[in-house]
Amino acid sequence: PILAGVWNMTKFTAQNGHGNTRFVDSVELFKSFSDDDQDFLTKSTVIWRKPSPSGEGPYYTKVVDSHPLSGSPTLRLETDQGCYLFPELYAWNGESVTEEQKTRFKALQAQLKNTLNTAEDIRYVQEWQEGDILIVDLFRMYHAVMCWFSYGERMFTGMGIRPKNYDNSMYTEDVLK
């Protein structure tokens, strides 16, 4: 996975307050769940029914993974389709999932989405200006654009930073094979 991003806002002519990026720390967000919910999420594997980075699919990821630098449990669960297909609970603790587990997972995913969308006190907002450079931990931080802007009002160049010895441990094998 990409560990960090370097983003340089080369053009920003959007209206004040539009086109900014909000960030939420997924390590801290994970800590806000009850111990029981943390345990449930840590034992969960999701399936993504889209081509994997190698061009084949589907692929599977852990919902909680250790941060490659700090070792902290890091929540790695999408709540929207966004650029990806919506992940579904595939396995729990290495076993096939029950309907009860699927229901619980969907409820936790909805809780996460609600928190990300409504809890303004946990957000950091990058209020972009032309020429800004931002280095962000993309493994740890949820991020999303805020408010509308028109095509061409916001342009940035960027790059993703991966470890020297790239390890694809976030992607896991089909644990139910």
What string of H, E and C letters represents the secondary structure of 82-144? CCCCCCEEEEECCEECCHHHHHHHHHHHHHHHHHHHHCHHHEEEECCCCCCEEEEECCCEEEE
Residue 149 has pLDDT above 60, yes or no: yes
Least confident of 32-36, 76-80, 151-155: 76-80
Q: Residue 108: what pLDDT?
A: 96
Largest Cα separation within the chain, whole Å, is: 52
Give the Cβ contact number of residue 120 at 10 Å.
8
* Cα 103 from Cα 113, distance rounded (Å): 15
> What would the mean pLDDT of 39-50 be, rounded to a whole number?
90
Residue 39 has pLDDT above 60, yes or no: yes
Token pair 């280095």 is at which residue? Answer: 135
Rounded (10°) angle between helices 35-42 and 99-118: 110
Summarised one tens digit per residue, pLDDT across range 51-63 is 656 666 777 889 9
Q: Residue 93: what pLDDT?
A: 95
With a threshold of 0.85, does the pTM exceed it?
no
Q: pLDDT category, 141, cuts 50, 70, 90?
A: very high
Closest CA relative to residue 117, chosen from 30, 38, 26, 24:
24
Closest CA relative to residue 3, chosen from 112, 172, 145, 165:
165
* Cα 58 from Cα 173, distance rounded (Å): 10
The secondary structure element, H or E, covering residue 38 is helix 35-42
Residue 82 has pLDDT above 60, yes or no: no
